[in-house]
Amino acid sequence: MRKEKTGRFARLRVLAERPEIGILIPLLLIMAVTAVINPNFMTAKNFSSVFKSIPFIAVVTLGAAFPLITGNVDISNGRFVGLTGMLFGVFLVNTRLGVAGSIAACLLIGCILGLLNGFLVVQLRMAGFIATMGTMYICGGLRYLVNGGSVMSNLPYGVKDFAEQTPLGVSWFFWIVVVLYVLAGFVLYKTAFGRRVYAIGSNAEVARLQGVKVERIGICAYVISSVLAAVGGVMAAMDIGSAAPSTGNNWEFKAVAGCVVGGVSLSGGRGSAVGIAIGVFTVYIISNIINMIQLSNYWSDVFTGCILAGAVMIDVARQRKKLHE
C-alpha cells in the first residue's frame, strides 16, 4: 500500500513539474481574482467571445512551435497572416478560383515561404531570428502593396456566412483548430517525424549520427509554420468578411510567447500540443482580463511581456539544472 502511495505521489510530482501544468496554477488564480472583481468574466457570453476570437492566433502559435522545437525560430508568420488574408481576398474577388481554389493557392504560397525560410536557416545556416526577420519585412511590405494597401471589404457574403455558423455554440474555426491541435499532438508523439523533430532540437549532431535527415526535417518544420500561418490568415479574413493588411501585427511575438509560456523550450527539444494550447490561452486571456477590469489595453503587452520573461527565466533555469545533473 505504501509503495502504491509513493508511486502515485511520484507521478503527481512529475506531472506538477511539467511546464504546461505549472502555468495553470497562477492562471486559475488570476482568473478567480478577476471573477471576483468582475462577475461578468466567468460568463458563457464572455468565454464564447474568447473562443470565437482565439482560433486565429492559436493556429499561428501551433505552427510557430515546430521550428522552436527543432531549436530554431520563425518570426515571419505574423506579417504573413496579413499578406495571406489580402491574397485570399484578391484570389476570391479577381479570379475564378473560388473559395477552395483561393484557399489552396494561399496554402501553396505558405509552402513557398516555408521553403524559403528553411533554405535560409537550415541550408545557408543563417540565424533563424535574422533570416525570418528579413522575410517578415518582405511580407509586411507586400501585404500593403496588394490592392494598394486598401482593405478588401467586398468578399462574397457566403464566406462570412460560413464563419458565423456556431456548431455547439462556437464557430467552425474553433473546431478546425481543435482538430489541428489533436493532429499536431499525434504527429509529435506518435510518428517517426515527431520523434525526429524532438531529436533535432535536443541535439542535431547526435540526431544526424543516428541517421536523421536534419536538414529535411528542419525545412519541413518551417513549411508547417508558414502553412498554418496561411490558415490563420484565411480564417481571419473569412471571419470578418474582409481582408485588412494590418491583420497579424505583432502576432509573431505573441505566438512565441504562447509557445514559451506553454512549455516549449527556446533551446529546442521540448514542447507539447497541450502545453501550446494552454500557453496561447494564457496569453489571450490576459488581454480579456485587462478589458474586464477596465485597464488600458497597453497593460496587456506589459503583462504578456512579464509572463514571457518569467517563462524564459524558468526555461533557462531548467536547462542549467539539466546540464548539472
**221-248 pLDDT tens trace:** 999 999 999 999 999 999 988 899 999 9
pLDDT score for 274: 92
Per DSSP, the three-state class of 191 is: coil
CA distance 149 to 240: 17
pLDDT: is 104 or 315 the higher one? 104
pTM of this prediction exceeds 0.85: yes
CA distances from residue 212 to 17, 126, 154, 198, 208 in whole angstroms, order as listed: 30, 21, 48, 11, 5
Task: State the CB neighbour count (10 A cutoff) for residue 301.
Answer: 15
What pLDDT is recorded for position 15?
55
Mean pLDDT score of the chain: 88
**Tens digits of per-residue pLDDT, 273-291?**
999 999 999 989 988 888 8
What pLDDT, on the 0 to 100 scale, is given for residue 12?
A: 57
What's the one-letter identity of residue 111? C
**Lowest mean pLDDT across 39-48, 134-143, 158-167, 219-228:** 158-167
Distance CA 138, CA 144 (A): 10
CATH 1.10.3470 holds for 21-324: yes
Does 145 or 16 have the greater pLDDT score?
Answer: 145
Cβ atoms within 10 A of the Cβ of 56, count? 24
The one-letter code for the residue type at 299 is W
The whole-number average pLDDT for the span 110-127 is: 97
Tell me: pLDDT of 161 over 90.
Answer: no
| Range of lowest pLDDT (35-39, 107-111, 141-145, 211-215) | 35-39
323 pLDDT above the threshold of 70 = no
Q: How far is CA 44 from the centre of its chain?
A: 25
Amino acid 107: pLDDT? 97
181 to 50, 129, 143: CA distances (angstroms): 17, 25, 28
